[in-house]
Structure 1
């Protein structure tokens, strides 16, 4: 006689690894000069979305790199300040930068990741693989 065990792939034990720490575990401590932008991670049926609040930056300031299942989000912006008066000229060059690396779950389809930047928010869409998407319940007929 065999026993049927009910398993939930999205049950608490599976989610503890995700939500117990952070949904997408950061690989390193953020490396930055200045402040680190706030990050939101949102999940829906189709996948995940990472939102990075980065006002003052432009689309070209960002670099996204995916290597294996490590997504690195980085940005660097050069800020030039110049002050002149009759006796001297002062110039300062500052570089504001940050880098965050996230370990993505295996359910993400890395070939379909897309990013947009709009009104100070970098939004990265991380779609789930088809086989990882939750399927609706179906009735199995008995032959």
Structure 2
């Protein structure tokens, strides 16, 4: 039987932080973009195939116009800034409600030297931002060749 643990709503990431601190390799700082529960950073999947690098960023409820995708000095930067303002007024009740919402994030990834910055495609579908970055010929994995022994 599993033990139930009550989580404190005020500090939802504290236990996760300490669990990660204990379970992670203390000297592995390659993953500087980890996403904690309650964080504003969207989760990301990174995949490398023979001919390209693929990035999938989960950002539901946004539009493609909300994103900015840039590559500079082998750094991929994906950012977003979204502002919303809603106002509701009822004169007969002398009632005004005004709400503001602001969301922003920036994720940065170091890319390998063998990417082709001129061949980058991005699309947004079903709440996922897809970024495909082609590899240069030198970065593509070549098929194994079996050498006959004489």
For the criterion TM > 0.5, the same-fold answer is yes
Tell me which of 100, 122, 134 is aligned to 2:129: 122
60-69 vs 76-85, which moves further: 76-85
Is 1:106 the equivalent of 2:144? no
Superposed displacement of residue 138, structure 1: 3.3
Greater relative contact order (CA < 8 Å, ≥ 6 in sequence): 1
What TM-score does the superposition give when structure 2 sets the normalisation length? Answer: 0.68
What RMSD, in angstroms, separates the aligned Cα atoms of the two structures? 2.6
Superposed displacement of residue 66, structure 1: 1.2
How many pairs does the alignment contain?
117
Tell me which of 30, 38, 52 is aligned to 1:21: 30
What TM-score does the superposition give when structure 1 sets the normalisation length? Answer: 0.71
Instruction: Name the SS for the 2:115 alignment partner.
Output: coil
- Whole-Å separation in 1 of the counterparts to 2:66 and 2:117: 22
Deviations 1:37-90 (A, max 9, x none): 111101111121000000000000000111111111011112222233411312
Deviations 1:79-125 (A, max 9, x none): 22223341131212222111111111112111101101101100000
- Whole-Å separation in 1 of the counterparts to 2:78 and 2:29: 23
Is 1:87 the equivalent of 2:99? no
Q: Which runs of no fewer than 5 residues in structure 2 stay unpaired?
A: 1-27
- Whole-Å separation in 2 of the counterparts to 1:41 and 1:141: 37
Q: Which runs of no fewer than 5 residues in structure 1 stay unpaired?
A: 1-18
Instruction: Name the SS for the 1:60 alignment partner.
Output: helix
Is 1:135 the equivalent of 2:142? yes
